[in-house]
Structure 1
Amino acid sequence: MEIIGWILILLFFVIGFVGLIYPIIPAVLFIFGGFVVYGLFFDFADLPWWFWAIQILFVVLLFGADAVANLVGVKKFGGSKAGLWGSTIGLIVGPFVIPIVGILVGPFLGAIIAELLFNRSTLKQSVKSGVGSVVGFVTSVFTKGIIQIIMVALFFLVI
């Protein structure tokens, strides 16, 4: 039973890291789920209250960082709310339409199309918004990846 528990925990962690590049997967919830699986299979007492408090703060931080990084990326490059919505839709749809590269092409094209359709922006400005969307996404993935590594490392330090 112990082996099954560790397999599930590690599977949750791996899915959590895959969720960094596939935004449809709630990455941080899988990381947190790995901690819960540990408690269910082994003992919640091994994970002190301060561990849970820190992890919950990280979960909240990651949800906020996701939204802020995309917003800052689009806005910093001159995009609008339409560009932000377009990039978000592209981020969700892109990986399914164009596997692998769709994760970058989706938000880029989504921002461009939204800027052109809803703001009547020039092509140059729309492309600039698309670039901002990709920069925001890459920054978000990098930041979330570091935080998730810290979450998992803390888990292994505590147990």
Structure 2
Amino acid sequence: MDILAWALIIILFVIAFIGLIYPIIPSVLFIAAGFIVYGLFYSFEPFGVLFWSIQILFVILLFGADYISNMVGVKKYGGTKAGIWGSTIGILVGPFVIPVAGILLGPIVGAIIAELIVHRRPFKEAVLVGFGSLVGFISSIITKGIVQVVMIIYFLFVVL
């Protein structure tokens, strides 16, 4: 039974990390599901108010990191709200249009198209904004990955 429980928990945590690259997968829900699987197989007793309070703060940090990283990346390279929205749409749509490369190309193309259409920017400026969106996306992946690792380490500290 232990092997099944921990296998499920590990699978859920791995899916959460896949969600870093495929933003359509709600990473934090899979981490929380890992906590719940532990509670169902063993006990929810280790998860006190302090545990849930800290984890909720990490969840807020995850959502904030996603938005802020994208915004800073686009804004730093001269982008506007349209570029931020275009990048966000590109992040979500890109992997479906071009399965592997769409992960990186989606935010770039989305930001470029948005800046060209909404603000009629010169192509060179729009490409720079697209590059900024890629920088923001990659920094978001790194930041969220670190937060998720900390969440899991804290979980393991509490239950082991």
Q: Which amino acid aligns with 2:77?
A: F
Which runs of structure 2 are paired with 1:102-121 in the superposition (5 Å)?
102-121=102-121
SS at match of 1:25: coil
Q: TM-score, normalised by structure 2?
A: 0.95
1:124 shift after superposition: 1.1
Q: Which amino acid aligns with 1:126?
A: A
Equivalent residue, structure 2, for 1:122: 122
Q: TM-score, normalised by structure 1?
A: 0.95
**1:14-54, Cα deviation, whole Å (9 max, x unpaired):** 11000000000011221122111111221000223211111
- Distance, in Å, in 1 between the alignment partners of 2:24 and 2:103 is 11
Which runs of structure 2 are paired with 1:24-103 in the superposition (5 Å)?
24-103=24-103
1:101 shift after superposition: 1.7
- The answer as to 2:12 corresponding to 1:12 is yes
- Distance, in Å, in 2 between the alignment partners of 1:66 and 1:39 is 29
- Distance, in Å, in 1 between the alignment partners of 2:11 and 2:100 is 21
1:2 shift after superposition: 3.3
Q: Which amino acid aligns with 2:131?
A: V
The list of structure 1 runs, each at least 4 consecutive aligned residues, that deviate by more than 6 angstroms after superposition, is none
Contact 1:29 1:59 in 2 (8 A): no
Equivalent residue, structure 2, for 1:148: 148
- Structure 2: state its 5+ residue gaps: none
Q: Which amino acid aligns with 2:119?
A: N
SS at match of 2:20: coil
RMSD: 1.1
Aligned residues: 159
- Distance, in Å, in 1 between the alignment partners of 2:39 and 2:64 is 26
